[in-house]
Structure 1
Amino acid sequence: MSTSEPEATSNTPDAASPHPEVDAALADLAEGEKTWADLALADRRTLLDKVHDLTVQYAADWVDAAVAIKGLDPKSPLVGEEWMSGPYPLATGTAALSASLAKLEAGTSPLDGATFGTAPGGRTTVKVLPLNIFDKLLLSGFSADVWLQPGIDRATAQRDAGLAQRDPSRTQGIGVVLGAGNITSIAPLDTLYELIAHNRVVALKLNPITDRLLPVLTRVLEPLISIGAVRLLTGGAEVGTYLVHHDLVDHVHMTGSALTHDAIVFGTGEEGARRKAANEPMLGKAISSELGGVSPTIVLPGEWSRADIKFQAEHIATQRLHNGGYNCVAAQAVVVSSEWKQRDEFVAALKDALDTAPDRPAYYPGSDSRVAGATASFPTAARLGENGGRVLVTDLEPGAYAPLLQTEYFAPVLGVIDLPHAGAAFAQRAADLVNEDFIGTLGVNIVAAPQTIREMGAEFDSLLESLQYGTIAVNAWTGVGYLTATATWGAFPGHTLNDVQSGIGVVHNALLIDRPERTVVRGPFRPSPRSILNREMSISPKPPWFVTNRTAATTGRLLTGFAGAPSWTRLPAIFASALRG
């Protein structure tokens, strides 16, 4: 028997390693997994509640860091985006996850008391918004339902809800989360989903763009860091590559582009292409992902007032320009009927909304080159905004718009696609187009007057069923699905590693629903008071996430405070701010 020491490897903390901080973090997590496995549901819920409270406590610091990252004017209403897509969804997400654990702790299902329904194809649905009186008041007229995969009935859904927390002592090793560089709540939300839904301790590597968030996320996640369940890492691609291939890592979750996904799974260059074609992954562990794509907005023709046209133009401009256009689910192509008699008026209003929306820095790397690529593909496109940094592509000949549907520009680029159909034929052709010709399946928006929806009847339900997207928003933006903690967020199921599209798996899903298929969000076609005058059951004014909302920063701050401690006494200030928006 040899008496020499075993050979050290680059995956052990004491080895001569290019990234010893990664080795140390993973060694800590290997020990932390034992601690996590021993924690009862009540103890886990206590940790979530602490993270919830710290999120609200340090929310202003979080927003300040995000404002600095994105170069926003601290006094701009656009700061509201950072409240509502940063600390707010983490506060609501931790609260909803804690409530699910409380039900499991009591021996019931997270879906105990849920409202179930049905959808086309014999599907079962679960109401995930509104869930209480505060939801009904603060998001009046908005709703969301999770459609379960075909064959999952109510009893099965209730039995299986809870996912890995149904057997909390059975942990699943160490998961890596590769954080996103755009929306600041993505990384911590994905971390919580790995920890709770999959029962894995987590190494979270921040995207270098968001390194300024490290101090505040360290404070917010401290309860989980202190027990060894979470470790935060920074660094570039070389750190990420080392991390995901580490022997101690059991699973990887990433948010980003399909190109990055393929580089991780198959490698790069000719050898990577060969591996992908042969479906021979070089990554020796499972990976889940949320990868974006080209998101469409389908506009169903109808009889709209001038106010309707202006509002919906601002709505679609928001779908593109929120966060500067750097969203995985930003609308990139608007599908309209060339036979719609109000088509030209609507496109003119859309152009005006894009042109006059508040300007902001192009903070995301590569934005200018992607805009230049779009204008090279579409030389007649309009350059809009104060600095001409926004692109609107219109009046394309059939077949000329392929680059718009197959290239995720991840920049303020929007196109209008005309289809020569009307009525039900338009709806069907639009569905075929977005299912077959658009890359990605993350989210699709539908804008339609209530009268149009009523007239379509069952054909409208069939339209929803036919759209193979993870989130469908009707008279709302799919971003509302992202902000709804109890909704699911991810691609339509069925993608594979070598044809990943918008990714594999879901996140958020605070009710811990097993085998979801999609989330369908609905909102009011008109804001209050026009909604009330037109007999829509909604008192919501212009939503605070609109890029044209003048009080978004104040409303976002107040909503985050409310998420920290819901109270009737907080509502008047929120309503007053929202109504001034």
Structure 2
Amino acid sequence: MEDKKTAIKTIDQLKPNIWNKTSIKDRVRLLEQIQQNIKSYADDLAKSDKKMKNKQTSENIYSDSIAKVATIVPLTNTLTACIDLYKALEKDGEPLKPISISKVKDNLYDIHVFPKEIKDKIMYGKRKDYIRVKGEPKQVSPMEKPTEIIAVLGAGNYSSSSEMVKALFLENCVVVHKPHQLNEETDQTWAKIFKPLVDIGALGFCSADQGQELTKDERLSRIYFTGSSATAKAIANSTDTKLVSECGGNNPCIIVPGVRAWTKKEIKHQAIQIATMAKLNGGAVCGRPQTIVTCKNWAQREEFLLALKDALEIYTPAAGTYYPGSEKVIQGFKENCPEAKILNPENGKYKSGEFILITDAPEDDYCVTHEAFCQILSEVPLDTTTNVKAFLEKAIDFCNTKLLGTLGSCIIIDEDTKKAHKTDLENAVTEMNYGGIAINAMPPFIFLNPYLTWGGHESDKDLVSGHGHFGNLLCYENIEKSIIYDSFMSPGHMLNTNISAMDELSENMSAYSIEPTWSNLFKLMWGAIKGNFKGKDF
């Protein structure tokens, strides 16, 4: 910040009473104004994020386009969704309605929330997103919630904070935001973008070194935190203010042995999908899969593992490990997992692009009980029969009882097996103690959808992945978890096999998220189609 802004001074400038009286119509106007401001400052945000990450790696590995999509899309998705919510409140006097509500069993309901609008249906195809609610489903309009003060402590692994928008427009609270020290420069730009909210006392930005002063301020009603569980525990122990936290974990990707053999194309597709997500943001993504859970007796296990190794080393480009502390984490995995394979994508062009793959790890291995948050993947084969029901029961028990954390998970299952074992899959989703479960999709897409919730599943347990959640655009109470269902070979899967195609996709995705027009949607879709035909360029 140009002038140091203390936490106390920033909170002093907040005006909860004015925000409480701000009309729905004015809130829509503010949201739209901020959306337009992002369009004006998008390149500045990208340059700052790129500069930070390349400085951390000491290599020129992050592009403007990749930095832009990572910084902008989580927040603009939330702004667009909030505009839809408040227009519904203005028109109907109540929150947006779901697509459907179905009873799972006594006192448990699945609420189909997305995609509902025609553009979203075109973009996301057969994907269906649900929130699971305990008790009779009930919505509470954000305008009916008390206007209090929430402190948002920004994450270090992405240079924006959609939690600010969620606190303001889903919880009806005013916000003081403190950036992570990595993202102080982008935060200066965000302060310019959000100036309309700053001007009316709904939002304030304080300096990155104000963490202790901020969290101890007795005027706060809640603290939103994204970061390590150790820091979350320290915050919780230092204040009586309610802490809503998201702290990552060791997220599983369960590979279900099929009732039929997977084709070579299917195996390569799934391997590249996992590799793409494992490398995203240099592995510094809270919901990325870290542990691949397989069936030891699956006939195609070795073929799949070879495809995964090739996807990581040959078919996807290098990404840069940049997050502070990663070197120490990597050293710990190398020392405790001597069987680890060291892979060097792009023939070792980038030192920060090194990837570690661990296979055939035992169920109580170091790689099971530790989070990586960098470019490390492990595989744990479970010694069960290939019977789908038996394997899923063992896999869910392993994930629930041995893996670190409860944040995000995914299950990869072919369509024939999904159809033949519909009940077994549904039981697995119910029994998994995770805040987010993605079927044939990757968990970070749950985080990216403001209609869903993002957080751990451990309110009555020791803090690992966090307590509480963020999101919930339709404003339901008592949400247990969020669930995505997609198709096994969905054209919407992120497969990064060409650098120029991914840069173009990222630019088009950023543009569409800022202005979700038909022309921007067609440009995005056409670019994605063209990208599928581009060969390797690295």
Same fold (TM over 0.5): yes
Matched, 1:320 2:278: yes
**Whole-angstrom CA distance in 2 between matches of 1:367 and 1:77:** 17
Identity %: 26
Of the candidates 139, 148, 152, which is equivalent to residue 177 of structure 1?
Answer: 152
CA distance in 1 between counterparts of 2:188 and 2:398 reads 45
Is 1:219 aligned to 2:182, yes or no?
Answer: no
* Closer/same/farther in 2, CA of residues 263 and 76 from structure 1, 3 Å limit: closer
Contact 1:207 1:234 in 2 (8 A): no
Aligned mates of 2:359, 2:45 — CA distance in 1: 39
Q: Report whether the alignment pairs 1:500 with 2:463.
A: yes
What SS does the corresponding residue of 2:143 show, helix, strand or coil? Answer: helix
Q: Aligned ranges for residues 291-310 of structure 1 at < 5 Å? A: 291-302=247-258, 303-310=261-268
Deviation of 1:518 (Å): 1.1
Counterpart among 150, 154, 173 of residue 200 in structure 1: 173
Cα contact 2:50–2:62 (8 A) shared by 1 = no
- Alpha carbons 2:7, 2:207 under 8 Å: kept: no
Distance 1:94 1:115, change over 3 A: same
- 8 A Cα contact 1:76 1:553, kept in partner: no
Residue number among 144, 160, 165 corresponding to 2:143 in the alignment: 165
Structure 1 residues 121 and 301, CA, compared in 2 at 3 Å: closer, same or farther?
Answer: farther
| Structure 1 pair 90–308 and aligned structure 2 pair: CA distance change class (3 A) | same
Kindly provide the CA deviation profile for residues 154-203 of structure 1, in whole angstroms up to 9, marking residues without a partner as x: xxx2xx332x4225xx412x221110011223x2x111122223222111
Per the TM alignment, residue 256 of structure 1 is displaced from its structure 2 partner at its CA by: 0.5
Distance, in Å, in 2 between the alignment partners of 1:234 and 1:483 is 26
Q: Distance in 2 between matches of 1:87 and 1:265?
A: 30
The counterpart of 1:366, out of the listed 298, 319, 325, is: 325
Mapped pair 1:474 → 2:433: no
SS of 1:296 mapped into structure 2: strand
* Structure 1: segments with no counterpart, 5+ residues: 1-18, 267-281, 528-539
Task: Kindly state the Cα deviation for residue 564 of structure 1 after the two structures are TM-superposed.
Answer: 3.0
Q: Give the alignment of 1:426-437 within 5 angstroms.
A: 426-437=391-402
- Which of 55, 80, 89 aligns to 2:74? It is 89
Mapping 1:551-566, distance limit 5 Å: 551-566=501-516
Deviation at 1:38, TM superposition (A): 2.2
Q: Look up the SS of the partner of 1:289 in the other structure.
A: strand
After TM superposition, give the deviation of residue 56 of structure 1 in Å.
2.8
Q: Secondary structure at the match of 2:463?
A: coil
Structure 1 residue 398, shift from structure 2 partner: 4.9
Q: 1:211: how far off?
A: 1.3
What does residue 343 of structure 1 align with?
301
3-state DSSP of counterpart to 1:558: helix
Larger deviation: 506-515 or 101-110?
101-110
- Summarize the alignment of residues 258-277 of structure 1 with structure 2, pairs less than 5 Å apart: 258-266=229-237
Question: Counterpart of 2:270 in structure 1: which amino acid?
Answer: Q
Is contact 1:431–1:463 with CA below 8 Å preserved after alignment? yes
Aligned-residue offset at 1:418 = 0.6
Q: In structure 2, what is the equivalent of residue 271 of structure 1?
A: none
Q: Look up the equivalent residue of 2:241 and give its one-letter code.
A: K
Q: Please tell me the residue identity of whatever aligns with 1:227.
A: I
SS at 1:514 equivalent? coil
Q: Distance in 1 between matches of 2:440 and 2:375?
A: 21
* Alpha-carbon distance, 1:121 to partner: 5.2
Aligned partner of residue 6 in structure 2, secondary structure: helix
**Distance in 2 of aligned mates of 1:558 and 1:112:** 29
CA 1:248–1:397: 2 relative to 1, 3 Å: closer
**How big is the shift at 1:389?**
2.4
Which one has a bigger Cα radius of gyration?
1
Give the residue type in structure 2 aligned to 1:299: I
C-alpha contact 2:279 2:319 (8 A) present in aligned 1: no
Pick aligned residue for 2:204 from 231, 238, 242: 231
- In the alignment, the residues of structure 2 paired with residue 348 and residue 104 of structure 1 have an alpha-carbon distance, to the nearest angstrom, of 52
Distance in 2 between the 1:311 and 1:549 partners?
17
Contact 1:490 1:506 in 2 (8 A): yes
Deviations 1:285-308 (A, max 9, x none): 111111111100000012111111
Q: Which runs of 5+ in 2 are unaligned?
A: 532-538
- Change over 3 Å in CA distance of 1:579–1:348 after alignment to 2: same
Distance 2:65 2:483 in 1: 25
**Matched residue, 2:112:** 127
Contact kept? 1:256, 1:292, Cα under 8 Å:
yes
Change (3 A) 1:580 1:119: farther
Q: What amino acid does structure 2 have at the position aligned with 1:474?
A: I
Amino acid of the residue matched to residue 429 of structure 1?
K
TM-score, normalised to structure 2, is 0.90
Give 1:58's match in structure 2, choosing from 16, 33, 41: 41
CA distance in 2, matches of 1:232, 1:201: 12
1:392 pairs, out of 345, 357, 367, with 357
2:5–2:206 CA contact under 8 A, matched in 1: no
- Give the TM-score taking structure 1 as reference length: 0.84
Deviation track 1:533-571 (CA, whole Å, cap 9, x = no partner) reads xxxxxxx26536x47564122222222322333333333
